[in-house]
Chain A
Amino acid sequence: MQAVLALEDGRVFRGKGYGASGDALGEVVFNTSITGYQEIFTDPSYSGQIVVLTNPEIGNYGTNSDDNEAGHPYIEGLVVREFSRISSNWRSEQVADEYLQRFRVPVIADIDTRALVRHIRDHGVMRGMISTSEFDPEKLIARARSIRKMDGTDLARVVSTKEKYEWHKGPVSFGSAAADEPAKFHVVAYDYGIKHNILRMLRGGCCRVTVVPAETSAADVLSLNPDGVFLSNGPGDPEPCTYAQESIRGLLGKAPVFGICLGHQLIGLALGGKTYKLKFGHHGGNHPVKRMASGKIEITAHNHNFAVDPDSLKSSDVEFTHLDLNDNTLEGLRHRSLPLFSVQYHPEAAPGPHDSHYLFNDFAKLMEEWRGK
């Protein structure tokens, strides 16, 4: 199967098609993680995006039901150098090619992905289209240009659960299964596109977890008597999500709050700050983040196109807790007087290193303290 990727600025790559036949439209971003393609496929934060994986060999270990971060893939399309026809791993249940075909995700392979990544690095993220049926570059470029821009787009509402539900599964473990600990806290988690591993981590950290839709009001959340409120990751621009910012303002000081990624950006906005779009975002599993309090470095998983502007929060009562050492992006903050903290990156990893798991303990401690007050 032939496939073509066309970018809005006119650059075109021709390769082989895998996965589903058809078209994919979205913002083209690259991810530099070596492992974890399945988690990337299924991370709702990639909604609206075509993902380029820099690791050239993809699909090697197949797919399995434990490594999903959501019920189905959220990426619009996939761009790789080499896509494995077979899978080899003791946990594999389905070859990656069949898996993406099943969920109607088109793949373009066999192109110079490094050239594409350099192009995005130099020119910023841009819209693009993969097609396995239309090969006229002019038409493809025109359609790429017609895609709605990510800036100003609220996608959290689109991917969020429509109904409240309870989450019961703890972290995936092989070998010795982790004992099911009794729940000590009740956490209400906003789903802006929440990754399953956040829920697993919360459950594993002795929390009863109730997941609520993005647009749930502060009052409704507080009526569930939470020990803490969690604000999840998610796709799109945080700015248009005014409903969420409003809910967060309603929660301030009423319950401990922990936010990740989009949740962190929404906190920044709720506190009166501003967010901005990065040139090509942070997407990978190797970013050094400095914890300001101790000076220690964590190797962290990132997946964000937007970031909170620290200057915009100078007048608020906020302490900057984490900093990206590659480009000094603000990666974490804590309120000085209210029980609230958030990080821009992904302590739940999946995929990525586990250096920041401690944040879930910090959240538990915060809830414990709050309960004591």
Chain B
Amino acid sequence: MPRRNDISKILIIGSGPIVIGQSAEFDYSGTQACKALKVEGYEVVLVNSNPATIMTDPEMADRTYVEPLTRQYVEDIIRVEAESNRGGTFALLPTVGGQTALNLAVELSDGGVLEKYGVELIGAQLRAIKKAEDRLLFKDAMTRIGLDVPRSALVNNLKDGLEFSGKIGFPVIIRPSFTLGGTGGGIAYNREELVDILSRGLDLSPVHEVLIEESVLGWKEFELELMRDLADNVIVVCSIENFDPMGVHTGDSITVAPAQTLTDREYQAMRDAAIQVIREIGVETGGSNIQFAVDPHTGRMVVIEMNPRVSRSSALASKATGFPIAKIAAKLAVGYTLDEIPNDITRKTPACFEPTLDYVVVKIPKWQFEKFPGADERLGPQMKSVGEVMAIGRTFKEALLKGVRSLETGKPLEAEKIEPRLLTQRLVTPHPERLQYIRHALGYGYSVKQVAKLTGVDPWFLQQVSDIAAFQAELESSRDGTAEGLRQAKRMGFSDARLGKLLMENGRGAPERVRQLRAREDVRPVYKRVDTCAAEFESFTPYLYSTYEEEDEAAPTERRKIIILGSGPNRIGQGIEFDYCCCHASFALREDGYETVMVNCNPETVSTDYDTSDRLYFEPLTLEDVLAVYEHEAASGAPIGVIVQFGGQTPLNLALPLKAAGVPIIGTSPESIDLAEDRKRFGKLLEELGIPQPPGGMATSVGEALAAANRVGYPVLVRPSYVLGGRAMVIAFDDPTVIRYMNEAVEYSQDRPVLIDHFLEDATEIDVDALCDGKDVIIGGIMQHIEEAGIHSGDSSCVLPAVDIPDHVLRTIREYTFRLARALNVIGLVNVQYAVQREKVYVIEVNPRASRTVPYVSKATGVPLAKIAARLMTGRKLRDLLAEQVERASESGCYGLETGSFYYVKSPVFPWSKFPGVDTVLGPEMKSTGEVMGVAEQFGAAFAKAQIAAGQMLPTSGTAFVSVNERDKRHVEQIARMLVGMGFDLVATHGTADVLERAGFQVERVFKVEEGRPNVVDLIKGDKIHLIINTPQGPDPFFDEKAIRRAAVLRRIPTITTISAARAAVEGIAALQRGELAVHALQELHARRAAVTS
């Protein structure tokens, strides 16, 4: 069946902000879908609230709405777009934006919106979505077609849950209906746990429904990725086997493709079942993934669940096989059949086939529990990892070890640190460091059989780990540095760093010495292609991975080339924004005629799509692996440059060693980057430039730290040097906090001292992104933080343009930025953070590299900063790229880009619901996983939109609870006046109530938690509070505040923790009350801005 010509316009719904369970993979899938449908000539309309995505680039769709993903806003977009639709069918593709898009499509359909505007769902029909998503319907369907499922029951209350669990026996699995990434799920081993998890699950489920299920804990877990077209052709793109057994969420499992321990008979039975499932559920076109559990002792196979859409696993399957699932799903949705679509990689064969692999792919999740003290680190049915890496090797061992080093976890777990008692516990209870414990257990003489029994991990996988451990032990004693010994080790996947430890007497510079030794012995990696067909056909897309084999298949070309280093696994503080920048660099330089070469190991990203760059090396971002790619590419003798400033801290950490190894880094020099991070030299530079910074010092001991703190004056900001995302930062108000920090919280050394700065209280923080070509400077945006200084910039909402910064202060900021960029000889992007305290501007830090806000500023201004920066690095000039702006800058001294007459607010999104019990207060350590943007003509409305998009529904009426600290009491009156003016009732704790009553407000007094009942938490739980303004009382949050914030998160009540955010919220509420709701396409905003400025 050919393309549907009756369709004229297609709306694609994105997945919104990055959250745990729904990450950059949906930017990848959405981008592929947009591109595929645009090429087909359809008018593509996109809505996604996440500005950091590639998909929301204005050229990816015809009309791009960065608007909240709620029924109200999307309905408005549908109304506007339906009105302008001429002639053909208006279709909605809901299957490439994760669970968010699917849920929204169901809501729009159930609400009659699609019918009202004549919108047709394509890719998955409502009936199919409901059948797949509703656990009971799904189970019934499976039983009908004769497939086995775990016994289960849906319950809506505690009583039924307890009764059913009594019948099937503990442990039981609890899965709330319609939540993301298994939010609120858990395993209960006893009645008490059941009551606890069940009540939370019921709470979190939007339909107040939870499935209780027979435990298949410890069974083997598999997933198949399927595609189906309208002609009922079905193919299996990839099989995935989980290293971790059932009980650990797939997103938190190490997974392996293809499946390793199934015979053909068992695999085909699973394939048959999967095909039956997709047909019975009725997913007519597109991708679906189906999960199975297999009893390792009897082979009993049960169906666990199905996603009737493109998923995280499909992104992984696409990267693992080279088969672009989302792109093809989009084409199938508009009528093509699989045999009509060519396989991009072979060009000659059709997409209607099943990829075959001649390598092994391992995905390993990345967790960041260190950011969430108090969070439960045990892994279970609710996903907790923030990112993942994928590694490709010719064997499982090689892929596993490449994956481990891709994680950048720093020091491996050393044997000495493991207590025998803990070892057993760690083996039994899934934990982020389980792999390391397994390795040690095998090293201690546990047998594979014993470890298999304790962990439920398949003995075949354990045998591989055991082989690695045995080889390592052998190498340690033999110190075999011969060519043969080295080759064997490299073939198994050992890194130079590890070999350095094993082979070299003296640890210093050992990896380098191993590398030299390898070079001398000619033990080098070759690069092989991912080609979907195990070399049966010639392949045309250079999607490459390294391995230690005989033949290299990727001879470098003679073209001048740029290598772009990606950002590795997503993590808090280093996420999709950096991938956005890397992709933009590649797009721009491709246009300019360079061959672009991407190096990255994150399967969720657009940068690891095989057609983003001319060449893709799916490789760990370590010095060894990057140098090998460089040497391989440089072998042709063609001119070559390497970009390190777009991928965040990961490639920056490699900048100096790469340069030392002779690699030509383009753009801002690594020395300048280093200078900006070096306190002493940077302080000196600021002094020379006459730019103030908060007084600070450095310390390598407790004594020095106290001395420094007292010299600069409390409060102080204490942090380790060289970090991104504010790892381990605190604001200390007194000596004991500093002492505790130095003793417990951080590791430091002469090389890596602890930094101590005076903390500017009551200051407003400003973020600036600017471009510089060494001579001219253009400021992309001056962003005013809505939370005050002290909240990590990644966790702070901010607004562009600044709302209440006086002109002369803005001028100072521009002037400082200009001077700094010039002084550091920035070629490319620079990000500067300022704090403004009583109209005085201080520099907090300068990062001569791409920042987290680059995509957001680019969306707001319509100027692609990252693309321009990449071009500057190749020697082009701002005078030719932004001629008009440069001219204006030289005339007026105002170097800024325009955002037009609109306000763009960026707001963070937090993973609190995944970490029950963790305090939700914000501070200098970044905790948000993603961001959203709100656009409106007024600041208040833009803020309200951003809050809604972030899942914080600001109330338009009701009761506000207000409790502020001493410092904030002087501001609270103004907030209260506005709230009362808008019809809100006030509830306050005694201290705040005193202040408010004195100011003449009527306030209901409420107990603090320890004072009596009903207290504030009771009110929150009783749904009597609709807005919480609660600023922290001091350096250590009281239990009271924690309880309040915790209860609020569960009830989804907006909780504001700073006065400046409270002001913004109040303005936002006012905007909502006025009913301002207009939606705006980026393309229109940019056109309007261009019209105004020219």
Chain A residues in the interface with B (C-beta under 8 A) = 13, 30, 32-36, 38-39, 54-57, 60-61, 64, 66-67, 81-82, 84-91, 111-115, 117-118, 121, 172, 174-175, 284-288, 290, 295-297, 299, 325-327, 349-354
Contact = CB atoms under 8 A, between A and B. Distances in A.
Contact of A117 (B267, B297, B360, B535): B535
B352 A325 contact: yes
B282 interface: no
Contact of A32 (B236, B338, B356, B394): B356
A264 B857 CA distance: 66
9 contacts: A32-B536, A34-B239, A57-B260, A57-B396, A84-B463, A89-B262, A112-B550, A325-B339, A325-B353
Given A55-B258, A56-B395, A38 B459 contact: no
B203 interface: no
Contact of B356 (A54, A84, A290): A54
B1045 interface: no
A297 B351 CA distance: 11
Interface in B238-273: 239, 258-269, 271-272
A263 to B, nearest CB: 22
Given A86-B448, A113-B358, 10 more contacts: A36-B263, A54-B358, A61-B460, A84-B463, A88-B459, A90-B297, A112-B550, A284-B356, A286-B356, A288-B352
Given A33-B356, A175-B300, A354 B265 contact: no
A372 B1000 CA distance: 101
B553 interface: yes
A21 B271 CA distance: 37
B485 to A, nearest CB: 15
Given A81-B394, A112-B551, A117-B534, A67 B296 contact: no
B702 interface: no
Interface string B454-470: 00001110010000000
B232 interface: yes
A363 B401 CA distance: 51
A352 B264 CA distance: 7
A299 B275 CA distance: 12
Interface string B7-50: 00000000000000000000000000000000000000000000
B549 interface: yes
B890 interface: no
A32 B272 contact: no
Interface string B378-407: 000000000000000011100000000000
B849 interface: no
B53 to A, nearest CB: 33
Contacts, number: 180
A114 B533 CA distance: 11
A115 B535 CA distance: 9
A56 B358 contact: yes
A86 to B, nearest CB: 5
A115 B232 contact: no
A127 B260 CA distance: 31
B528 interface: yes
Nearest to A88: B460
A55 to B, nearest CB: 7
Given A56-B359, A56-B395, A57-B395, A285 B354 contact: yes
A34 B463 CA distance: 20
Given A35-B262, A61-B262, A114-B535, A88 B549 contact: no
B306 interface: no
A351 B269 CA distance: 11
A63 to B, nearest CB: 9
Given A115-B549, A353-B354, A54 B535 contact: yes
Consensus secondary structure, chain B interface: loop
A121 B536 contact: yes
Nearest to B339: A297
Interface residues of B, number: 62
B549 A114 contact: yes
B373 interface: no
B232 A296 contact: yes
Interface of B: 148, 231-233, 235-236, 239, 258-269, 271-272, 295-301, 337-339, 348-350, 352-360, 394-396, 448, 458-460, 463, 528, 533-538, 549-551, 553
B353 A354 contact: no
A55 B300 CA distance: 26
A296 B235 CA distance: 12
Contacts of A351: 264, 268
> Which residue, B296, B298, B299, B534, has most C-beta atoms of chain A within 10 A?
B534
B393 to A, nearest CB: 9
Given A57-B396, A353-B268, A84 B460 contact: yes
Contacts of A299: 235-236, 353-354
Contacts of B553: 118
Given A175-B299, A325-B339, A86 B353 contact: no
A56 B360 contact: yes
A329 to B, nearest CB: 12
B268 A88 contact: no
Given A54-B358, A297-B352, A38 B263 contact: yes
A86 B535 CA distance: 28
Contacts of A326: 348-350, 353, 537
Contacts of A87: 460
Contacts of B231: 295-297
Nearest to B238: A34
Given A55-B357, A81-B394, A353 B339 contact: no
> Which residue, B232, B262, B458, B537, has most C-beta atoms of chain A within 10 A?
B262
A36 B264 contact: yes
Given A88-B458, A118-B535, A56 B394 contact: yes
Contacts of A30: 534, 536
B230 to A, nearest CB: 12
B299 to A, nearest CB: 5
B358 A33 contact: no
Contacts of A352: 264, 268
B265 A67 contact: yes
B299 A81 contact: no
> Which residue, B232, B261, B549, B553, has most C-beta atoms of chain A within 10 A?
B261
A350 B535 contact: no
Contact of A33 (B264, B271, B299): B264
Contacts of B551: 112, 114-115, 118
A88 B461 CA distance: 9
A290 B338 CA distance: 11
Nearest to A62: B263
A35 B297 contact: no
Nearest to A39: B264
A360 to B, nearest CB: 15
A67 B264 CA distance: 9
Given A90-B296, A114-B358, A174-B299, A67 B232 contact: no
Contacts of A85: 463
Nearest to A82: B395
> Which residue, B148, B299, B536, B553, has most C-beta atoms of chain A within 10 A?
B536
Closest 7 CB pairs of A and B: A36-B264, A115-B551, A351-B264, A54-B534, A88-B460, A112-B550, A35-B264
Contacts of A34: 239, 258-259, 267, 356-357
Contacts of A175: 148, 299-301
Contact of A88 (B148, B261, B354): B261
A57 B353 contact: no
A54 B350 CA distance: 21
> Which residue, A38, A113, A288, has most C-beta atoms of chain B within 10 A?
A288
Given A32-B356, A114-B358, A114-B528, A353 B271 contact: yes
A95 B394 CA distance: 22
A111 B316 CA distance: 28
B534 to A, nearest CB: 4
A90 B298 contact: yes
A327 B263 CA distance: 29
Nearest to A38: B263
